[in-house]
A and B are shown apart, each in its own frame.
Chain A
Amino acid sequence: MSKKVLLGLFVLLLLIVCGWYWENHSFDADRIIKNSQLGNRTFSTPVEEVVSPQHRIKAYLLEDKSNPIISISFIFANAGARAEQKGQYGMAKIAADLMVEGAGEWDSQQFKEMLENYAISISFSADNDDMSGQLLTTKEYAPIAFDMLQKTLLSPRVERRYVNRTKEQVLAAIKHQQENPQQQLSLMANEDLFAPHPYGRNPLGNPDDIKNFSPLQIRTFIHNNLGQSNLIVGIAGDMNAAEAGKMLDDIFGQLPIQGATDNISEAQLRLDGKKSFYHADIAQNIAFIAAQGTKRKAEDFYPLYIANYILGGSGLTSRLNQTAREKEGLTYGIYTGLSISDKAEMIIGSFSTTAQNFDLVVDIFTKEWKNMGINGVSAQELDEAKNYLISSYNLRFADIINISDMLAYMQKENLGIDFLQKRNQYISEVTLKQVNQAAAHYFTLENLKIYGLGNFN
């Protein structure tokens, strides 16, 4: 056998061995994505603004005929806990609960029978800022659903027997908050950070106030705060613009013109760079972290959003989880996120760990926080964060209720009717310099407060 043949065989063998090694020891994610036959789908999300013909009520609509169902999300801005007068703390939550306890000609049981028979869902909730509602219906029973929602808004029953029961349920819910150490600590922290601003109160209310609410007071609260002037509506599903316009007039057209107004001041976070620890005999210590954040429409919103994502917002791959959980095994999870209310913008965080680990995790948290402020993020981290935020974008369209919620939120925050088209562009345009400037501004030890609940001996 000639040398050339031997050499050829050797090269062939080498190629086979390399191929085997490559097959068994390498994983080329980029190649899989590039060659995927499922890529490059176009997906359009045309949102249109609808104005009702008679009462000029505006809404955003995303028409989607893939399923004969309709979701309507609506917000009464400023009609949450912040609309409560002194002595009325808890009124917004009680009012929201009572909206579905009978309306118009139907008592509570008749109303609920109809909801179940026609597979209609109507719900209300209240947070610190707003009262919100949601309607889900099939196209077939939409006229019934719209009629029911109209009556809940204009003539909720708010009868004494329902009021008494709802009060008891809310008082039990306030006790239930104390069974959960995370909730207990965040209530204590909010009071410390914000009181006497409304954000410092328990959003479920004050038990002494709640006991004294009368049906008339609750009806008055609803009448004074739910109006056309503070109404925001998002519609998704099997409905065209003409149908949506008529629906808006039918449901919301008879509401009082004037609703709750924006009458409270900005909340100033009481941050002192210190730690506040409270004793509780629990199996694991809990931490709650608070810092000043930024407004949703601020120029540094996306840069801060990305810096936070890298620090503690990206689940197990975040810097905090990589260090405290994945490397050290000190906690089940550690997270930070942006919390944006109308009058306060925060970066918040949380973790829990056994008492002997607590100082170690606080130390890791503080070091990573400070490091983010001083050194910022790398170009690779920024690219990877952008990849996540852009590639995960379509997941928000999985659920029709999410979509109508999003349409309402876009209006509340004045994000623009083209937000869904432009959002990925907003992310991709963020520069490394912008992220690091935001990081340097917000991730300082002065802008940080750590609360703890547990055993600190």
Chain B
Amino acid sequence: MEKKFKVLCISVLCLLFAHSVQAKLFDISEYQLSNGATLLVIPNHKAPIAKHMVWYKIGAVDETVGKGGSAHLLEHLMFRGTKKVTGTEFNRLMQINGADSNAFTSFDYTAYHQNLDISRLELAMALEADRMQNLNFSDADFVTERDIVYQERKQVVENKPLAVFSETMKKILWQNHPYAKPITGTEEEILSLTKDDIMQLYQHYYAPENAVIVISGDIEPQIAFELAEKYYGKVPARTSAKPKSFPTINANTNAKLRMSLPRVEIPRLIRTYVTDSYNTNPDNIYALSILSAYLGEGETSELYKELIQNRNLALSVSTSYDYASRSYGTFDIAAVPAKDVSMKKLTEKLDKVIRDAVFTINDEKIERVKNKMLAGLIYLKDNPFDAANIVGALYTIGMSKEDIENYADSIRRTTTEQVRHAAEELLYKSPVTEGIVYPIDWENKDE
């Protein structure tokens, strides 16, 4: 199945910033079903279609030590049959009914989704409710799916040098925190997983109270609620996993990674700070969001103007901030040097531009950034599929409906002083790892 790792979160946030808002961002209706499952409905009546998603609050962070990749393999095996819908019949039913169906696993959650004609929504609900409680795959299918996941890791990680670099960065940055490990598991872990490992995870986490159902499209909330009770309400309530506690990251981490890898053609710099998320410090996430937009999002940001437009030192430079995590958030700065510009020179100038940009933060600049962040939120009302992805990810990591809807107000309320303070905390007091990847035999590895 497709897997988007943290990329989904990041793209979610980018979308929020790229576009922007009214009083209520999505007009979400929130319901609790009788068995403890949550239902979120986002009406959008432009076409008779919907996106139907089931998010489970279980991801790679919830795996037992040594069982890396089990959450992801479970996601695959969810397409291998139940007592009623055997083998790969789920896929066939979705296909002949015109649904685009898939799933993904991240560190923090696993989601199953279908884009479909509204006339097929009830079918998808019935199928998802069934596999919420009746998973039943054969031993042979388990082995085959484990082989597929092994091939997937080869394709999406090991054949891509930048993915290998990114995995190494994570190990150094996160150390003994579960965000350090690969979501796919390592090759050895994948091949050692057993059917029991998967079923334990399923029975422990795939319970109604651990599920968030999202329906976005041409449907009235009350009808969606009645249908959700009809299909999902039948799944017996059972006790699910308790909230997980995460290890504390050493605040003094300041690591540097240098790698030369075959098939890398151009050098790249990436710096990742461990910082606040919605779950560790919700009050600070809007200031950090504004800071990221100010420093490096888009082609009017401070870093773009200075390093690309004015000085020709970089071919690309950007920042991104991800607060949609169950544990810490991350703030990334990425850059590619211009031709004949050494990494040493690039990093020196990058640091200087950031220092100057933070030093010169003022009300006028921050107001301008805020206005850009909010200017296009109306576009979020267009595509019902995007809305489901954004709302589902944010809600599943623990964000309240009110906080999702009040994004624009939260941005507006954030003061210049809060942004400056967030910048100083981030840049001078947060754990950080800086990685540089070079082509093999790169001559200008000056440091």
Contacts and interface: CB of A to CB of B under 8 A. Distances in A.
Interface of A: 24-27, 29, 32-33, 35-41, 43, 64, 66-69, 108-109, 112-113, 116-119, 136, 138, 164-165, 168-169, 171-172, 175-176, 178-181, 281-284, 286, 314-317, 322, 325-332, 352-354, 357, 384, 387-395, 397-400
Contact of A175 (B20, B122, B154, B265): B265
Interface string B84-121: 11001101110111111000000000000001111111
10 contacts: A33-B120, A36-B119, A37-B122, A37-B223, A38-B122, A38-B219, A67-B381, A164-B312, A352-B154, A392-B116
B96 A384 contact: yes
B19 A391 contact: no
B396 to A, nearest CB: 22
Given A179-B161, A391-B97, A398 B115 contact: yes
B266 A172 contact: yes
A315 B91 CA distance: 9
B376 interface: yes
Contacts of B160: 179-180
Interface in B21-52: 45-49
A54 B8 CA distance: 47
Interface size class of B (residues with CB under 8 A): 35 or more
A357 B150 CA distance: 12
Given A29-B123, A116-B298, A165-B308, A176 B20 contact: no
A326 B87 CA distance: 10
Contacts of A169: 315-316
Contact of A281 (B116, B262, B385): B262
A108 B305 CA distance: 10
Given A24-B84, A391-B120, A314 B315 contact: no
Given A43-B48, A329-B148, A395 B95 contact: no
A352 B266 CA distance: 24
B158 interface: yes
A112 B308 CA distance: 14
A112 B385 CA distance: 28
A284 B155 CA distance: 7
The 9 A-B pairs of least Cβ separation, nearest first, read A391-B98, A119-B376, A329-B147, A392-B98, A283-B158, A329-B144, A119-B375, A41-B48, A175-B265
Given A116-B372, A165-B308, A352 B47 contact: no
Interface of B: 19-20, 45-49, 79, 83-85, 88-89, 91-93, 95-100, 115-123, 126-127, 130, 143-148, 151-152, 154-156, 158-162, 218-219, 223, 227, 262-266, 298-300, 305, 308-309, 312, 315-316, 336, 338-339, 371-372, 375-376, 378-379, 381-386
B144 A328 contact: yes
Given A112-B299, A179-B263, A395-B100, A38 B145 contact: no
A179 B264 contact: yes
A316 to B, nearest CB: 5
A400 B19 CA distance: 14
Contact of B46 (A64, A282, A354): A64
Contact of B118 (A35, A38, A108): A38
Contacts of A24: 83-84
Contacts of A353: 151
Nearest to A174: B265
Nearest to B339: A168
Given A332-B155, A395-B49, A397-B46, A41 B118 contact: yes
Contacts of A286: 159
Nearest to B123: A32
A291 to B, nearest CB: 23
Contact of B378 (A25, A69, A181): A69
B289 to A, nearest CB: 15
Given A284-B154, A352-B155, A398-B49, 8 more contacts: A29-B123, A119-B376, A181-B263, A317-B92, A330-B147, A388-B95, A388-B97, A392-B116
Given A315-B95, A391-B120, A112 B300 contact: yes
A284 B371 contact: no
B3 to A, nearest CB: 10
B122 A33 contact: yes
Contacts of A68: 378
Given A387-B96, A387-B98, A109 B305 contact: yes
Given A36-B123, A329-B145, A397-B46, A172 B152 contact: no
A60 B219 CA distance: 29
A64 B162 CA distance: 42
A111 B441 CA distance: 40
A26 B83 CA distance: 8
B300 A33 contact: no
Contact of A316 (B91, B97, B158, B263): B91
Given A327-B144, A397-B47, A179 B339 contact: no
B42 to A, nearest CB: 13
Nearest to A322: B88
Contacts of B312: 164-165
Most chain B beta-carbon contacts within 10 A, residue among A178, A282, A353, A357:
A282
A75 B265 CA distance: 33
A67 B161 CA distance: 43
Contacts of A39: 118-119
B151 A178 contact: no
Contact of A283 (B146, B159, B162): B159
A165 B97 CA distance: 49
A27 B151 contact: no
A179 B298 contact: no
B225 to A, nearest CB: 13
B124 to A, nearest CB: 10
Contact of B88 (A116, A171, A326, A388): A326
